[in-house]
A and B are shown apart, each in its own frame.
Chain A
Amino acid sequence: MIRAPILEDSVLKKTTQRNEIVDALTLQDLCRFCQAEESWVIELVGHGVLEPVGSSVEHWRFRGMSIVRAKKACRLNRDLGINTAGVAMVLDLLDERDAALRRLARYEMLSSGEVDQ
């Protein structure tokens, strides 16, 4: 994890680089981005892990959450050897866990003033 320090003003003026938010990727773009095979991405779509817009494979566009999920799915497969069905379940459970953790954080904050008698 990189924690970026605040930049000095003197360095700022030299920044003329191209950068952009990654969005609306084609199947080929997504495969390059995730370093994955097309057949694996198509399988992920088949399991409902990724939901591209567009009627046919050639017209697929992967946006927002689908890009994040694709990258996670590829890492989980590469690093832990989890197959498509397993990845689909892990990602769903992670979403549920994160939602539960957010709710828990809220309740912990509300009850932080507890006093024993």
Chain B
Amino acid sequence: MDFKDYYKALGVAPDASADEIKRAFRKGARKYHPDINTDAGAEASFKDVNEAYEVLKDPEKRAAYDQLRNGPPPNEGQYQPPPDWDSGYRFSEGGPQSDEGFSDFFENLFRRGQGPGQKRYAERGADSHARLQIDIEDAYQGATRTLSMRTPVVGPDGMITMKDRNISVRIPAGVSEGQHIRLAGQGTPSPGGTAGDLFLEVSFAPHPVYRPDGKDLYLDLPITPWEAALGGHVVMPTPGGKVDLRIPANARNGQKMRLKGKGLPGTPPGDIYATLEIVNPKVSTDKARALFEQMAKEMPFDPRAHLGG
């Protein structure tokens, strides 16, 4: 396991006062909260900040941690605490209130006797929550994905071990962003009763073409100047299959077309909004040049007429 620098995680000096640590934690928690900060690394930072505070807010844990920190430096990144590193310190177990555990470093050193969010002899295991990122296409067709979860498990001897398990998830067609998939009995197991459920919060991976908004999808649809001028049908690929889109004559750049019911499946299904984007061809041949020159000569058109002057 890696040694965790909890002072660095909070951005405070090793001799910071309890008040400074609390302030830094509150600021960090606000900044990195995964419901507020949508950056990819925010969730990990949020966990780091919480883990650091869990240790540094408790004077006994902090003292034990400081002693470790001032001890011999880690050996090639593989950190092993000295035996009896915590003798003389008394602290109770703590950990995240829900979801997966903290880092190996925390789980091995600071957790005693119980898994996160689980009473040792609860009748029913705790529910687990995790996030699952899928592609927009998966929401149309449905898909099966496997995900690996690391959960702290209490052994018969009362020791905590981190256990990896792979769970295969069938993603139902029609799932939309923010919805939850419930996997019955896949939460925290309970020694004396039934296991809790696992809830997966679905989010969409960024897509090169589509921007989702609820069940609707938005995209920019490139069209040629003559398609815009003359109108007509263009074939547009969508996650649900190819659709025929009628472009009105004299279409404007930025004009929005709605394809009713072609968005994410559901009752009712969402819509697709295509914003027209007129793209000029690159003039690279004499023929193309001649065609544009002919238009320049024969079409009276001043797009700057309204600018005055």
Chain A residues within CB distance 8 Å of chain B: 1-7, 11-12, 14-15, 17-23, 32-33, 35, 64-65, 67-68, 71-72, 75-76, 78-80, 90, 94, 102, 105-106, 109-110
Q: A12 vs B171: C-alpha distance in the bound complex, in angstroms? A: 13
The 4 closest A-B pairs by CB, nearest first: A4-B145, A68-B178, A22-B180, A18-B184
Q: How far is the CA of A51 from the CA of B215 in the complex (A)?
A: 19
B124 to chain A, nearest CB (A): 10
Name 28 A/B residue pairs within 8 A (Cβ), A-sorted: A1-B133, A2-B148, A3-B133, A4-B169, A11-B168, A12-B144, A17-B185, A18-B183, A18-B185, A19-B181, A20-B182, A21-B172, A21-B174, A21-B175, A21-B179, A21-B182, A22-B181, A33-B127, A35-B98, A64-B179, A68-B179, A71-B180, A79-B33, A79-B50, A80-B30, A80-B33, A106-B218, A110-B220
Q: Could you tell me if B145 and A7 are in contact, using CB atoms closer than 8 angstroms?
A: yes
* Given A19-B183, A64-B179, A68-B179, 8 extra CB contacts under 8 A: A2-B133, A4-B133, A4-B169, A7-B144, A23-B179, A68-B178, A79-B50, A94-B36
Within 8 A of A (CB), among B151-203: 168-170, 172, 174-175, 178-186, 199, 201, 203
Using a CB-CB cutoff of 8 Å, which residues 79-127 of chain B contact chain A? 97-98, 127
Q: Does B275 contact A (CB under 8 A)?
A: yes
The distance in angstroms between the C-alpha atoms of A11 and B182, with both chains bound, is 21
Distance in angstroms from A32 CB to nearest chain B CB is: 7
CB within 8 Å of A: which B30-53 residues: 30, 33, 35-36, 40, 43, 46, 50
Is the pair A5, B146 in contact by a Cβ cutoff of 8 Å?
yes
Tell me what chain A mostly uses at the interface: helix, strand, loop, or mixed: helix
Interface presence of B257 (CB below 8 A): no
Q: How far is the CA of A21 from the CA of B130 in the complex (A)?
A: 14
Residues of the A chain whose Cβ atoms lie less than 8 Å from the Cβ of B199: 22, 33
Whole-angstrom distance from the CB of A44 to the nearest CB of chain B? 15
Is B134 among interface residues, defined by CB-CB distance under 8 A? yes
Question: In the complex, A100→B274 CA distance in Å?
Answer: 18
Check if B131 is an interface residue, CB within 8 A of chain A: yes
User: Considering the chains assembled together, what is the distance between the CA atoms of A2 and B169 in angstroms?
Assistant: 12
* Shortest Cβ distance from residue B191 to the other chain A in the assembled complex, whole angstroms: 20
Q: Using an 8 Å CB-CB cutoff, how does the interface string of B277-292 with A read, 1 for contact, 0 for none?
A: 1000000000000000
Complex Cα distance A32/B220, Å?
42
- Is B213 engaged at the interface, CB distance under 8 Å to the other chain? yes
Per the bound structure, the CA–CA distance linking A94 and B127 in Å amounts to: 27
B62 contacts partner chain A, Cβ-Cβ < 8 Å: no
- Cβ-defined contact, A2 with B220, below 8 A: no
A4 with B146: in contact, given A35-B98, A76-B35, A102-B218 (CB under 8 Å)?
Answer: yes
Contacting pair B218 A79 (CB below 8 A)? no
